[in-house]
Amino acid sequence: MNTFLQLVVNGLGKGAVFALLALGFVIIFKATEVVNFAHGSLVLFGGYLVVVTRESLGWAGASLVGIVSAGLLALLLERLLLSRSRHADANSLALLTIGVDVIITEEIVRRLGVTLPFLGDAWDAQPFQIGGITLFRTHLVALLVAAVLITAFTLAFKYSNWGVAMRAQAENREAAALMGIRSSRVTATAWVVAGVLAGVAVLFIATQDFSGAGLSRGTHSIALAAFPAAILGGLDSTAGAVVGGLVVGLVEALSAQYVSFDFSKSAVFLVMLVVLVVRPSGLFGTRESTRV
Amino acid sequence: MSDTAVKSPAPAPPAPPAKRDRTRLIKALLWIALLVVLLAIPLYLDAAWLKAGQYMMIGGVGAIGLTLLVGQAGQLSLAHAFFLLAGATGYTVLSGPAEDERVFGLGLDPGLSLVGAVAIAALLGLAFAPVSGRLRGIYLGVASLSLVFLGLYLGQSAETLTGGTSTGRTPQPFSLFGFPFTNDGPEIALMGVPIRQAERTWYLFLLLTVLAYVIARAAVSSRIGRSWRAVRDNEAAASVMGVNVTRAKAGAFAVSSAYAGLAGAMTVLWFDILKPDESEFGTYGINISIAFLAMVIIGGLGSVPGALVGALIVNGLPQVLSLYSADLGWFSGTGDGALTPILVSSFVYGAAIILVVLFEPGGLAAIGRRITPSKKRHLPEEQGK
């Protein structure tokens, strides 16, 4: 029973990080209907800048730089590439982000070479025990940070002007534009927010407790596991992203323990497949309907 | 003014049959010339270049399959690498010696095994129909990605089939009706050039690629291709017009998987080893799925000749670069941060995807169509999106 509780706590901690990433996918998708395949490279980019600046700025400063620069890179992508091809449909823009992802990822992996630095200096302390359960600090900090960020996002999404504009645009792009909502600004902020969330997530991913490996190609593929999280929840549902993230974290933790570590990666995708067969647009996604 | 209008030349009548016949003749001659060049290449190039060319043909076969699925039938798939693994494993297991204690084999004839591998991949593609039929767009893309992860797991755990990640297993060398595609068997020489393993494999792969191309072109212009395009453009309208949408989608997935299975069997013959991946980035990993998608996008979604050109770029570049690097002294750096041919070609095709989507969504095929005016223009349904 203790093992189980421990797995649940650790799974939720991991899931919180997946939720941050999945939320990034969902925000971008809601604002632009583009699925951002370059999300993994935003994660790597943020992490890489932490590594580069850590010597001179210390952990906190470097983390800030990493988070901000992941947001800026996302903004740059949107402004330089995606906003320039309005005529292209959302699917080909998704393919474009694949091209971006290949370039950024290969370059960062090349720069990292064989050094695979860990990022979680600030709390990479000993795991500790509460009532017979071993807990990792990374998971707890991740849960806390994710809870704060997601709550803040939800509130902003509901009550702020930005959130209203965002929801209006998600509902009907043209009508929103006619009502005076600047669609380019909404789109740009959506990308920045997604980039920032990716920058926060990498601080947890490239740690001993989370992945057992430093910043590397593997970090990118962990970010990829947020894909099933977003899809499973429903690509256009922010609540779905959070639920999807937690489900993915739990499935991964439990299957790694009870089946095998190798299986845990595919377990996440299998669970997603089952959900999709039952509900083709995810748990909370809007169902597509066709009128003939 | 009216009489000048009468005198002005009437709108050009449709090209006279003689002219159309001539363009057709020129086209046919060009195809024959290309085929002659491809047939003659082994007589002039050495084994290393033939090996590089074979790798491009593997890419070509796989890319044709994916362009039928993504471009013609409009179903985004990231599962291509999985079916590649299925074909590779299928060939190795079917043809593998039956008495081996470590790994499982059926000891079938290699030619039969190749057909079997293609059939296995096609059946697996068909088995995915309950999922692929229900989903579309990005949802299908990510759902199909799960197959790659499943393949990674199965490759690691089904060691009696795949040989495991540490050692892998050697496939049976290919032979057709007793004729070996190795250095054994009858000594053959053409114009003084001995036709040995590299040359024989070149001809085998060329035959397979030509077959794949011809079948794909036939499928595209037949009613099967029309039903795929109808489903791609509008599922509801297609079903109203009497297309069985579920069947068309499942069929497209099976055909595309069969192509990937063939490419997989070719891959294992090319590498001369079946070695499942240790991580999701490897011979049968996500990166391969993305590379095939890149070929298809660069070539122009839905265009069969475009897929071949895309394969030439994406699969050919690393091969050609590494062959030239020895001559030119490039890529001599090693260790951290070294530029490798694979890395450089990743940059190139990543950039090519971006440029194609931004400036020429029809890919290289659209550029080709623009510079060679032909009657095809009037049949937009035959072009990819």
Residue-wise pLDDT for A41-50, tens only, equals 999 999 999 9
Residues of B in contact with A262 (CB under 8 A): 153, 156-157
| Model-level ipTM above the cut of 0.85 | yes
Q: What is the C-alpha separation between A160 and A179, in angstroms, rounded?
A: 17
Confidence check: pLDDT of B373 > 60: no
Per-residue pLDDT, A87: 67
Nearest CB neighbour to A227, from listed B142, B157, B338:
B142
Specify which of A186-190, B57-61, B282-286, B297-301 reaches the highest per-range mean pLDDT: B57-61
DSSP conformation letters of B314-346: HTHHHHHHHHHHHHHTTT---STT---HHHHHH
Closest approach of A277 to chain B, Cα-based (Å): 6
Q: Which residue of A has its CA nearest to B351?
A: A99
What residues form DSSP beta bridges with B169?
B274
Q: Given an 8 Å threshold on Cβ–Cβ distance, is A106 in contact with B350?
A: yes
Query: Is the CB of B235 inside 8 Å of chain A's CB atoms?
Result: yes
Query: Is the CB of B186 inside 8 Å of chain A's CB atoms?
Result: no
Q: Given an 8 Å threshold on Cβ–Cβ distance, is B350 in contact with A114?
A: no
Per-residue pLDDT, B127: 93
Q: What percent of chain A has pLDDT over 70?
A: 95
What residues form DSSP beta bridges with A130?
A133
Per-residue pLDDT, B385: 40
Q: Given an 8 Å threshold on Cβ–Cβ distance, is B336 in contact with A224?
A: no
Per-residue pLDDT, B372: 64
Query: Is the CB of B366 inside 8 Å of chain A's CB atoms?
Result: no
Q: pLDDT tens digits for B306-320?
A: 999 999 999 998 888
Q: pLDDT tens digits for A169-209?
A: 888 888 888 888 888 888 999 999 999 999 999 998 888 77
Per-residue pLDDT, A290: 65
Tokens of B44: 């002039």
Higher pLDDT, A88 or B3: A88
Average pLDDT, chain A: 87
Distances (CA, A) of B375 to A44, B224, B379: 48, 22, 8
Nearest CB neighbour to B142, from listed A101, A231, A277:
A231
Q: Given an 8 Å threshold on Cβ–Cβ distance, is A103 in contact with B346?
A: yes
Query: Is the CB of A93 inside 8 Å of chain B's CB atoms?
Result: yes
- CB-based contacts of A190, cutoff 8 Å, min separation 6: A27, A28, A30, A31, A32, A166
Query: Is the CB of B31 inside 8 Å of chain A's CB atoms?
Result: no
Residues of A in contact with B236 (CB under 8 A): 290, 292
Tokens of B380: 């937009």
Per-residue pLDDT, B12: 54
Distances (CA, A) of B201 to A42, A138, B38, B190: 43, 54, 13, 15
